[in-house]
Structure 1
């Protein structure tokens, strides 16, 4: 099955570029930019990638982001991920970035987005990998701060397809950001939001009914509400599920108890993604391999999950059909 997974052309829809920070690059950039981090070597950085909750992960995640200073740093970070895409036969990716993590440190918005998009453009030219960029608001910050970053994004609007909502879910419900999402939609952005990973089903309903999202990031707690399950099935609202992340952050106790296959068989538009792969123990193919190892999932169901990722993407219908035909030939 490992070879089969490798052969399949895949799309990834839930990937935080700051979450692809491998320890080697973090240590290298810390030295280059003369930024102090509390680790003596790469191994100490790697050991720090052990955490017990979403918040303990976020503490390390934001600390690591501090070493990103220059445009070339954001290029290097993105390029390393895109090389992984080439290795794992990921042909389309929709990348999330957190500008507030960087602008709050005095890094200009243009430095962040120019570094990222130059890498995306190079990957399109050299590898044929297509991509879109999703600007995420940090939900532990205020809606007013989200409005500030939305305004900053406008001069770069041609580089950004969608806005999202990530960071600490509990205590920061969708309604907190209802106005800024309405404005983002008026500006023409697609809409996504993290919901139903730590938060209960009310967070998923809120993302749908108040934020009017095009898809839900995570959404694994949807099976706690039969009406929600039926609604997601009927509307085919995509869920960008991240299995290794869910286990690492204790949203699911073990991979053998993950509900993704159950949701797939129930007719929901579920997809597989890696979230923050350098922190959570694996990139996209590793997530698929973990599902195969721990759950009763067939080759056809693996193919269905891959097809779902293209159907749930923001690609146009012609591009989607092209990729689905490629998948059917594998």
Structure 2
């Protein structure tokens, strides 16, 4: 089998702040004269053992302190694009957390302009088409989210959609109905995390109350047979992140991951890296570990890549181009 880093793929579940590698964190801390709780690379790396989602989020938000200027955000984004190109990513739908930066006193313009400025040349510089999604923190209030969304729209931020992330349990989809109504009225695409730590009912409500077009994670959907049938019938995209699920203890081990069951049930699943700097693997590494663990053949791997492309918000022309590249890869792999 050919290297899975050459497999043309789209990445649909990627938090740009989660691509901050330890080396860049320390570099930006020095640049911005920020004192972190850890002085060396070894001390920082030692923090990357998580017991659950919250233990990850604590470090994730702590490390954001090094992002201060537009250049910081741009450097982080370009570093991801460089690594994504090596992983065979040809289209990326990148989420960022504007509220997390505003809470630190970093203006909306700084984070948006820094990230979007780097993405503006992503295709010419890296061969990767990109779109930007503003993700809202579900452990913050809907009023906060509504205010930030209004500001993003007023400044004509180059976002294509909104998402919903951070701590899932105790923050049900019903909390954000108005936010999604406003985003839909503004013509934005709608995605949301659901069914990672939260129950299958959160997936139902994300579809029915929020009108989400795509479910980020969704692995607990397999606990509800009626939900599985609906997801299969409607071919709702599920952006699954295997290495993330293992590192955050959403599943006990990779062997226990429901991915094979999801595929066997006809679900529209694709593979993504989520927060790759924290979870030990970029896009191609997520493909590699599941290919090895579950002995996936070329047909299955091609199906996962095709799902990522067809489930994306790329243009019809771009999708056709990438599916053509995928077909060429298959011919060469045969």
TM-score grouping bracket, smaller chain normalisation: over 0.9
Is 1:207 paired with 2:199? no
Query: Where do residues 62-73 of structure 1 align in structure 2 (5 Å cutoff)?
Result: 62-73=61-72
Is 1:146 paired with 2:145? yes
Shift of 1:316: 2.3
Query: Which residue does 2:154 correspond to in 1?
Result: 155
Query: Where do residues 25-40 of structure 1 align in structure 2 (5 Å cutoff)?
Result: 25-40=24-39
Query: Where do residues 167-178 of structure 1 align in structure 2 (5 Å cutoff)?
Result: 167-178=166-177
Shift of 1:156: 4.1
Query: Which residue does 1:289 correspond to in 2?
Result: 288
**Gap change, CA 1:276 and 1:187, over 3 Å in 2:** same
Query: Which residue does 2:53 correspond to in 1?
Result: 54
Query: Which residue does 1:109 correspond to in 2?
Result: 108
What is the SS of the residue equivalent to 1:14? strand
Q: Which runs of 4+ in 1 moved over 3 A?
A: 155-158
Shift of 1:5: 1.1
What is the SS of the residue equivalent to 1:228? helix
Query: Where do residues 58-137 of structure 1 align in structure 2 (5 Å cutoff)?
Result: 58-137=57-136
Query: Which residue does 2:193 correspond to in 1?
Result: 194
Is 1:252 paired with 2:238? no
CA distance in 1, matches of 2:246, 2:49: 13
CA distance in 2, matches of 1:302, 1:270: 11
What is the SS of the residue equivalent to 1:48? coil
1:110-168 Cα distance to aligned partner (Å, 9 max, x none): 11011101111232222221000010000000000001110111134451001000000
CA distance in 2, matches of 1:7, 1:48: 32
Stretches of structure 1 that go unaligned for 5 or more consecutive residues are: none
CA distance in 2, matches of 1:128, 1:82: 9
CA distance in 1, matches of 2:155, 2:47: 35
**Gap change, CA 1:129 and 1:156, over 3 Å in 2:** farther
Query: Which residue does 1:218 correspond to in 2?
Result: 217
Asked whether the 8 Å contact 1:261–1:297 carries over to 2, the reply is no
Q: In the comparison of the two structures, how many residue pairs are matched?
A: 329
Query: Which residue does 2:332 correspond to in 1?
Result: none
CA distance in 1, matches of 2:156, 2:207: 24
CA distance in 2, matches of 1:266, 1:136: 29
CA distance in 2, matches of 1:306, 1:277: 18
Shift of 1:73: 0.2
Structure-2-length-normalised TM-score: 0.96
What is the SS of the residue equivalent to 1:216? strand
Shift of 1:265: 2.2
Shift of 1:4: 3.4
Is 1:241 paired with 2:232? no
CA distance in 2, matches of 1:189, 1:211: 13
Is 1:185 paired with 2:184? yes
Asked whether the 8 Å contact 2:81–2:126 carries over to 1, the reply is no
Shift of 1:8: 1.2
Stretches of structure 2 that go unaligned for 5 or more consecutive residues are: 330-334
Query: Which residue does 1:6 correspond to in 2?
Result: 5
